[in-house]
C-alpha cells in the first residue's frame, strides 16, 4: 500500500499518477488519507500528553507521601483515575482510526512509474520491441484446440468430467511436454542465480493482503472457506510472503527466488470465443521468479528480468513482442509492468505469456519487509516478480507455430528434456 508520508510529501505527484490510472476520485481518496492521518496524529498527541501528565502526577504523589501529606496524595490520585479512563478512550479511538486508514489505503492502487504511458485499455499499451519472424504455415493449419484432439495429448472433456470447464487433462506427450518445460524453466533460472523454493499452494488471509490479492482480487481466487485459506493465483504470493515481517541485511540483497506451482484462478466472467482451449484456464502450471532488492537497484533488476524472460522465448524459437502497460491496463499493485506476448500463427494474434513487474514499496509496506542499511536504520525494500514462464499459452504457441503436415516439431532446446523431437 502507499506510504502516508509519500502522499503528504508529494501530493501533486501521487495525484497525477493515480489519475494516469483513470481513478477519477483520486483527489478525494488522498485527502481522506491525510484527514485520517491528521486525526490519528492528534489522538496520539492527546494520549501522549495525558500519559505525561499521569507520570508527573505519580511523582507528585510519591513526594506528597514522603512529606506525610496523605490526604493531598489521595486527592491527586483521583485525577490519575480520570486520566486512565481518558487514555483508554483515546487508545480505542486511535486504534479505530488506524484501522479506517489502513482499510482506505488498501483500496488505493500503486502509483505508476513516470515512464508508464497514459491510456485506458490494452490498446493503449506501448510496444517496446518485437523479436523473431512470424511463421508462415501451410494451408490447412489448425488452432491448438484442434491439434490436441488430433494428436490426443490434452483432453478438455475428461477434465470437465472430473472438475469442470477450464481444467484440462494432459496425456502422453502432452504431459511430458508440460514436465519438460517446467524443468527447462527451473534449470534456466538456477543458472541465472535464482534459488529454487517449493512453497505451499494454499495461503492464509494475511498472505493475500501482503501481496495485494486481497481485498482487490478475492472474487477471482478459490476460497476454502472452512479453513479460510486461498488457492494461489500465482507463486508470487507464497514466495514473496516468505519475507513478511522480516528484516534482512543490505548485504543479502538482491534476494532471488524461483518456484514452480500449479496456479488457480476463477476467471469469473472472462469466457468467450477468444479464450478457447489453453488461452484461459482455471488451473495451470507456471514458473515464477521473485526478487527483493535495494530501492536504488529495482529498475535495473526489472530490466534484467525482462531480458531474462525474453531469452527463454528466444531459446524456444517463438516470435514475441514486449509491451509497456499503460496506466489503465496495469495490475493494482504494480508501478511498472512489461508484458511479453507470443504470436500464435494459427490464431493469428498475440497471446500474453508473461508479466514482469516492479511493485516498489507497495507490497513491502504491507509485508513490513525491510532491510537494515549501512546507516543502521531499517528501510523498505522493493519487490518484483515475473512469469518465467506460464505454460498454457506457450504450449498453444509451440503446437500452432511448429505444426507441419507430418506432425508438430518440438523446439530444439527441449529435446533433452522430452526424449522426442516431434509429436
Q: Same structural domain for residues 359 and 255?
A: yes
Percent of the chain with pLDDT strictly greater than 70: 97
Residue that is last in its domain, among 47, 78, 106: 106
Q: Same structural domain for residues 67 and 185?
A: no
CB-facing half-sphere around the CA of 158: CA atoms within 13 A: 10
The Cα–Cα gap between 393 and 277 comes to 9
Structure confidence by residue, pLDDT tens digits, 66-103: 777 777 766 667 778 788 889 999 999 999 999 999 99
Q: Same structural domain for residues 215 and 86?
A: no
**Does residue 285 fall inside a structural domain?**
yes
Q: Same structural domain for residues 276 and 363?
A: yes
Q: Grid coordinates representing 323?
A: 509491451
Return phi, psi of residue 29, to 5°.
-60, -45
Q: Same structural domain for residues 365 and 389?
A: yes
Q: Grid coordinates representing 222?
A: 478459490
Residue that is last in its domain, among 63, 78, 106: 106
Three-state DSSP state, 38? helix
In the chain, what is the greatest distance between 2 CA atoms, to the nearest angstrom?
A: 108
CATH number where 65 lies? 1.10.287.40
Query: Checking DSSP bridges between strand 247-249 and strand 370-372, what pairing results, if any?
Result: parallel
**Does residue 115 fall inside a structural domain?**
no
**Does residue 116 fall inside a structural domain?**
no
Q: Which of 45-49, 61-65, 119-123, 401-405 has the lowest mean pLDDT?
A: 61-65
Which residue in the block uniquely carries the three cell numbers 534482512?
A: 248
Which of 156, 148, 143 lies closest to 173, judged by CA?
148
Please report the DSSP string for 130-198 in residue order: EESPPP-PPTT---HHHHHHHHT-EEHHHHHHHT-TT--EE-THHHHHHHHHHHHHHHHHHHTTPEE--
The Cα–Cα gap between 409 and 423 comes to 7
Three-state DSSP state, 336? strand
Segment 164-175 shows an average pLDDT of 97
Predicted local confidence at residue 210, as pLDDT:
97
Q: Same structural domain for residues 236 and 153?
A: yes
More confident of the two residues 157 and 63: 157
Q: Same structural domain for residues 85 and 142?
A: no
Structure confidence by residue, pLDDT tens digits, 153-169: 999 999 999 999 999 99
Assess whether pLDDT exceeds 70 at residue 138: yes
Which of 152, 153, 156, 193 lies closest to 176, judged by CA?
153
Segment 253-279 shows an average pLDDT of 84
What is the count of structural domains for the chain?
A: 2
Assess whether pLDDT exceeds 80 at residue 404: yes
Q: Model confidence at 269, in pLDDT bands (50, 70, 90)?
A: low
Q: Same structural domain for residues 325 and 250?
A: yes
Total Cβ atoms within 10 A of residue 148: 24
Q: Same structural domain for residues 78 and 179?
A: no
Assess whether pLDDT exceeds 70 at residue 274: no
Assess whether pLDDT exceeds 80 at residue 61: no
Q: Same structural domain for residues 18 and 97?
A: yes
Burial (CB count within 10 angstroms: exposed 0-12, middle 13-18, buried 19+), residue 103: exposed
Q: Same structural domain for residues 349 and 239?
A: yes
CA angle 186, 288, 233 (to 5 degrees): 135
30: containing domain: 4-106
Residue that is last in its domain, among 78, 106, 134: 106
Segment 211-218 shows an average pLDDT of 88
Q: What is the CA radius of gyration of the chain?
A: 27
Predicted local confidence at residue 387, as pLDDT:
98
Segment 331-337 shows an average pLDDT of 97
Segment 136-154 shows an average pLDDT of 96
Q: Model confidence at 124, in pLDDT bands (50, 70, 90)?
A: very high
- Residue 107 makes CB contacts below 8 A (sequence gap 6+) with 29, 215
Predicted local confidence at residue 175, as pLDDT:
98
pTM over 0.85: yes
Q: Same structural domain for residues 151 and 275?
A: yes
CATH number where 326 lies? 3.30.930.10
How do the residues of the chain divide into helix, strand and coil, expressed in percent and rounded to 5?
A: 50, 20, 30
Burial (CB count within 10 angstroms: exposed 0-12, middle 13-18, buried 19+), residue 11: middle
Predicted local confidence at residue 222, as pLDDT:
96
Predicted local confidence at residue 172, as pLDDT:
98
Predicted local confidence at residue 217, as pLDDT:
79
Amino acid at each position: 500500500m502507499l506510504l502516508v508520508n509519500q502522499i503528504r510529501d508529494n501530493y501533486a505527484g501521487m495525484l497525477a499518477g493515480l489519475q494516469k490510472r483513470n481513478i477519477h476520485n483520486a483527489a478525494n481518496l488522498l485527502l481522506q488519507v491525510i484527514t485520517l492521518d491528521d486525526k490519528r496524529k492528534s489522538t496520539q498527541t492527546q494520549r501522549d500528553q495525558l500519559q505525561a501528565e499521569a507520570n508527573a502526577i505519580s511523582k507528585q504523589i510519591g513526594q506528597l507521601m514522603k512529606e506525610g501529606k496523605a490526604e493531598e496524595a489521595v486527592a491527586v490520585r483521583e485525577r490519575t483515575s480520570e486520566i486512565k479512563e481518558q487514555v483508554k478512550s483515546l487508545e480505542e479511538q486511535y486504534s479505530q482510526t488506524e484501522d479506517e486508514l489502513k482499510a482506505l489505503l488498501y483500496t488505493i492502487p500503486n502509483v505508476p512509474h513516470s515512464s508508464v504511458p497514459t491510456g485506458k485499455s490494452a490498446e493503449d499499451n506501448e510496444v517496446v520491441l518485437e523479436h523473431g519472424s512470424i511463421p508462415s504455415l501451410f494451408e490447412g493449419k489448425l488452432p491448438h484446440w484442434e491439434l490436441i484432439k488430433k494428436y490426443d495429448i490434452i483432453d478438455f472433456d475428461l477434465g470437465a468430467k472430473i472438475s469442470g470447464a477450464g481444467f484440462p487433462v494432459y496425456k502422453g506427450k502432452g504431459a511430458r511436454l508440460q514436465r519438460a518445460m517446467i524443468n527447462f524453466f527451473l534449470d534456466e533460472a538456477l543458472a541465472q542465480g535464482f534459488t529454487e523454493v517449493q512453497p505451499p499452494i494454499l495461503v492464509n488471509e494475511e498472505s493475500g493482503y501482503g501481496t495485494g490479492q486481497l481485498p482487490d482480487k478475492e472474487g477471482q481466487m478459490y476460497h476454502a472457506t472452512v479453513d479460510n485459506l486461498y488457492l494461489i493465483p500465482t507463486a508470487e504470493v507464497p514466495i514473496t510472503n516468505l519475507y513478511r515481517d522480516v528484516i534482512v541485511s543490505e548485504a543479502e540483497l538482491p534476494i532471488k527466488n524461483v518456484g514452480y506451482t500449479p496456479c488457480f484462478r476463477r476467471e469469473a466472467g472472462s469466457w468467450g470465443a477468444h479464450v478457447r482451449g489453453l488461452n484461459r484456464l482455471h488451473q495451470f502450471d507456471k514458473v515464477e521468479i521473485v526478487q527483493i532488492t535495494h530501492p536504488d537497484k529495482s529498475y535495473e533488476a526489472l530490466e534484467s528480468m525482462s531480458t531474462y524472460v525474453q531469452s527463454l522465448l528466444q531459446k524456444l524459437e517463438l516470435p514475441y513482442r514486449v509491451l509497456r502497460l499503460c496506466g489503465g491496463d496495469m495490475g493494482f499493485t504494480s508501478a511498472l509492468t512489461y508484458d511479453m506476448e507470443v504470436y500464435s500463427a494459427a490464431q493469428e494474434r498475440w497471446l500474453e505469456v508473461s508479466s514482469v513487474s516492479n511493485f516498489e514499496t507497495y507490497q513491502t509496506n504491507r509485508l513490513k519487509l525491510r532491510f537494515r542499511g549501512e546507516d543502521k536504520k531499517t528501510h523498505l525494500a522493493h519487490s518484483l516478480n515475473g512469469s518465467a514462464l506460464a505454460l498454457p499459452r506457450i504450449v498453444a504457441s509451440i503446437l500452432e507455430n511448429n505444426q507441419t503436415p507430418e506432425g508438430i516439431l518440438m523446439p530444439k532446446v527441449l529435446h533433452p528434456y522430452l526424449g522426442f523431437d516431434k509429436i
